[in-house]
């Protein structure tokens, strides 16, 4: 089954520099694809519900320069989702809520677009000594867990080799 033709969310994970983004792009050959870094997405997309007072009052942030051709995309790849952990650590909002709000925002803005999330697997390395670093690592892991649970397809990439695990 061709993963690019499925509906729903695709989540790709694996260690750093293992070929996750290359795998995502290979699934959408000859398709219109945009790759954005998760850390470049507006914090309001994680923190505010769609239609919230902040959004209605014009405090709605947008991605720097917008997402090119967003309305005509076949796939939107959000890379490095583990990098939203510092944002999550500094806010009172639960990771479940933040991830749900981001997904809802992207599905509303790009309804015909396949959403692909990529995150480095951070749980297999040395445990950080600092409390803040440990908290961010735990939040990165929870984010990956939430994305995997919402995804219709999960792929793990190791040394450039992909394995469909869901």
Average pLDDT over residues 87-114: 89
Q: Beta strand pairing status for 10-14 and 153-158?
A: parallel
Tell me: pLDDT of 1 over 50.
Answer: no
Q: Tell me: the pLDDT tens digits for 113-124?
A: 999 999 999 877
**CATH number for position 65:** 3.40.50.300
The pLDDT assigned to 76 comes to: 93
Whole-number Å distance between alpha carbons of 3 and 27? 7
Residue 4 has pLDDT above 50, yes or no: yes
Per-residue pLDDT band for 150 (boundaries 50, 70, 90) equals: very high
Question: Would strands 161-164 and 153-158 be described as parallel, antiparallel, or unpaired?
Answer: antiparallel
Structure tokens given for 82: 């583990």
* CB count in 10 Å sphere of residue 9: 20
Q: Which of 147, 132, 2, 18 is nearest to 74 (CA)?
A: 2
pLDDT of residue 68: 58
- pLDDT value at residue 57: 42
Domain count, the chain: 1
- Burial of 121-146, coded b for 16+ CB within 10 Å and e otherwise, reads bbeeeeeeeeeeeeebbbbbbbbbeb
Q: Which domain holds residue 68?
A: 3-164
In contact, 59 and 110? CB cutoff 8 Å: no
Whole-model pTM: value is: 0.85
Distance CA(6)–CA(20), nearest Å, equals 18
For 87: left if phi > 0, alpha if psi spans -120 to 50, otherwise beta; the answer is: alpha
The answer to whether 72 and 34 are in contact (CB under 8 A) is: no
Over residues 11-67, the pLDDT tens digits come to 999 999 999 999 999 999 999 999 999 999 888 888 888 765 455 344 445 454 456
For residue 110, what pLDDT is reported?
86
- Residues 141, 3 contacting (CB under 8 angstroms): no
């Amino acid at each position: 089954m061709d993963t690019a033709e499925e509906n729903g969310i695709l989540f790709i994970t694996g260690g750093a520099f293992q070929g996750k983004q290359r795998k995502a792009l290979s699934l959408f050959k000859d398709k219109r694809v945009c790759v954005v870094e998760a850390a470049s997405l507006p914090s309001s997309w994680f923190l505010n519900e769609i239609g919230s007072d902040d959004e209605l009052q014009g405090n709605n942030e947008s991605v720097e320069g917008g997402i090119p051709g967003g309305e005509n995309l076949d796939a939107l790849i959000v890379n490095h989702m583990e990098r939203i952990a510092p944002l999550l650590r500094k806010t009172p909002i639960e990771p479940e809520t933040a991830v749900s709000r981001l997904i809802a925002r992207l599905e509303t803005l790009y309804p015909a677009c396949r959403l692909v999330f990529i995150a480095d697997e951070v749980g297999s390395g040395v445990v950080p000594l600092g409390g803040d670093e440990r908290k961010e690592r735990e939040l990165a892991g929870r984010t990956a867990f939430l994305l995997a649970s919402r995804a219709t397809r999960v792929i793990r990439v190791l040394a450039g080799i992909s394995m469909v695990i869901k």
